[in-house]
Structure 1
């Protein structure tokens, strides 16, 4: 089972990425090769850390999305052309997001590794889209894709940022908006001024979402470190046994 899992994780992205790079430039081929090797090594490292022998059903869905993201990376390295192919490919990868979670819950195979794998694929896809959009709107767009990585880097210095967050539909909505807005802008369907306004609004919502979570985590840290009330317990009355000489006859 483990050998089959490793074989599939090696062969599937190799064939898909090689097929995509066959029609692209050498830099696109190199991008696909580096991405494929990184995907294999990082998933193997994640499995070892989680003490899991192989992928579960939901992990394979996430892996399929990761392969599509790799092809998108090749297209962007090749100049992002044709735009409709890139937009369509990314739209499929985004549409598949959420299926892995449902499959994990229904099959009882949900895990911390699966959740982290899904999160990292989403984060890298958003960063790739920002690279493509930044070519037309400016480098400031990269702030959207780099914000999560900056948050992770900050958590190395401030460990309290790694505390679990409360469930939030607003956080999920803001995250989904980033992908939708960036895909629409990549497709070139909007006029320039509307692209600028849409990406600016997406960035503002992301700053608000991250800011709200950071403030909440900071407040939780203060609450956890606040000393509790000192309650003085009454001393227990201990009756000493009478001495032998004082016992009544």
Structure 2
């Protein structure tokens, strides 16, 4: 009987999640069309790489949305985060062809990255205002930020603004996640800290700035090194906090 009651209780949430997933699917199709056009305009030729990668990311997000999102509406905040995922995928164009980071095209790439970064501060307030703030939306936002940072680091490296070590500036979180598979105590919840959010802004803001064609070595190397040191310090603080409580 208790199992039947639990299934009845979960049924409306599952129906709501499916309705939100349909909205995400339709939005993803629209964003994919726009992304294809922007990629063509930026690269000067048709390219499907950003569209395919965005589609994979949206599909994975949709699967987790069906499992964990309880509301019937997708919400403006999640729609905006999905749009940021599409814009992040656009960074695959200069990653594949680093010549696009030079001259006028380089400034276009910089402006697109700057717009993507500026939109990051809007989805949180939108979620709270609509009453749809929750763990899934926060995790979706964080994963898109991580993907954006990783792709930006790749573009910075390919453009020659910094060496291959700059990839750590975009992948250190994934290193931390991989380490938690071997050391499960690293996977424990961390307390909310403003420091973590501030360092994330500095990390992505620095990577966006390094894309600007005017930023050249050795200044780009110095900026990247400072940001990486700050990010490593933030992770070290969290690792020490977790180690003391294992």
TM-score, normalised by the number of residues in structure 1: 0.81
Measure, in 1, the Cα distance between the counterparts of 2:234 and 2:25. Answer: 40
Pick from 37, 40, 49: which aligns with 2:67?
49
Q: Is the 8 A contact 1:61 1:100 kept in 2?
A: yes
Q: Is the 8 A contact 1:17 1:33 kept in 2?
A: yes
Change (3 A) 1:205 1:44: same
Map Cα deviations across residues 54-111 of structure 1 (whole Å, 9 max, x no partner).
Answer: 5222101111111111222223323361111111111111111121111111211012
Matched position secondary structure for 2:98: coil
Structure 2 counterpart SS, 1:22: helix
User: What is the CA–CA distance in structure 2 between the aligned matches of 1:197 and 1:3, rounded to whole Å?
Assistant: 44
- The corresponding residue for 1:154 is 179
Query: Distance in 1 between the 2:187 and 2:21 partners?
Result: 34
Unaligned runs of 5+ in 1: 222-249
Matched, 1:36 2:61: no
Q: Which residue of 2 aligns with 1:128?
A: 151
Aligned structure 1 segments of 4 or more residues deviating by more than 3 angstroms:
1-4, 51-54
Structural RMSD (CA): 2.0
Distance (whole Å) between structure 1 residues aligned to residue 209 and residue 28 of structure 2: 32
Q: Which residue of 2 aligns with 1:59?
A: 78
* Cross-structure match for 1:176: 201
Q: Structure 2, unaligned stretches of length 5 or more?
A: 1-18
Q: If each structure's helix is expressed as a fraction of its own residues, which one has the higher value? A: 2
User: Is 154-163 or 99-108 further displaced after alignment?
Assistant: 154-163
Quickly say closer, same or farther: Cα 1:108–1:194, change in 2 above 3 A: same
Q: For 1:136-164, what per-residue CA distance to the aligned partner results, in whole angstroms no more than 9, with x for missing partners?
A: 12111111111111111112222222222
How many residues are treated as equivalent by the alignment? 220
Contact between 2:124 and 2:133, CA under 8 Å: does it hold in 1? yes
Query: Are 1:215 and 2:234 matched, yes or no?
Result: no
The 5 A counterparts of 1:46-195 are 46-52=64-70, 55-79=74-98, 81=100, 82-135=105-158, 136=160, 137-195=162-220
Larger RCO: Structure 1 or Structure 2 (Cα < 8 Å, ≥ 6 residues apart)? 2
Q: In structure 2, how many angstroms separate the alpha carbons of the residues matched to 1:196 and 1:130?
A: 12
After TM superposition, the score normalised by the length of structure 2 is 0.82
**TM-superposed deviation, 1:49:** 2.3
CA distance in 2, matches of 1:44, 1:54: 13
Describe the superposition over 1:93-138 as per-residue Cα deviations: whole angstroms up to 9, x where unpaired.
1111121111111211012111111011111111111111112121
Residue 233 of structure 1 corresponds to none
Highest Rg: 1 or 2?
1
Partner of 1:200: 225
